[in-house]
Amino acid sequence: MKFYWSMPEGLKVHYRKELETYKLETSKANFTVAWRHLERAHILGQPWFVQHTQVHWLMLKFGIRIKNRKEILGQLPRLLVGGIKSFVGTIPTGNTGGANVPPLRVMEIPEELKDIMRPYRNI
The rounded distance, in Å, linking the Cα atoms of 69 and 31 is 16
Band of pLDDT at residue 89, cut at 50, 70 and 90: low
Q: Is residue 80 part of a domain?
A: yes
- 21 belongs to a structural domain: yes
pLDDT value, residue 49: 87
What pLDDT does residue 99 have?
A: 95
Q: What is the spatial distance between Cα 49 and Cα 42, in angstroms, rounded to a whole number?
A: 11
Q: How many domains does the chain have?
A: 1
The pTM is what?
Answer: 0.91
One-character DSSP codes across 8-27: -HHHHHHHHHHHHHHHHHHH
Q: Which residue has the higher pLDDT, 90 or 112?
A: 112
Please indicate whether residue 99 or residue 89 has the higher confidence score (pLDDT). 99
> Is 119 a member of any domain?
no
For residue 88, name the pLDDT band (cuts at 50, 70, 90): low
The domain in which residue 53 lies consists of 11-86
Packing angle of the helix pair 49-65, 69-87 (nearest 10 deg): 180
Report which of residues 23 and 1 the model is more confident about: 23
Beta-strand runs (E) in the chain:
none
pLDDT for the residue 87: 62
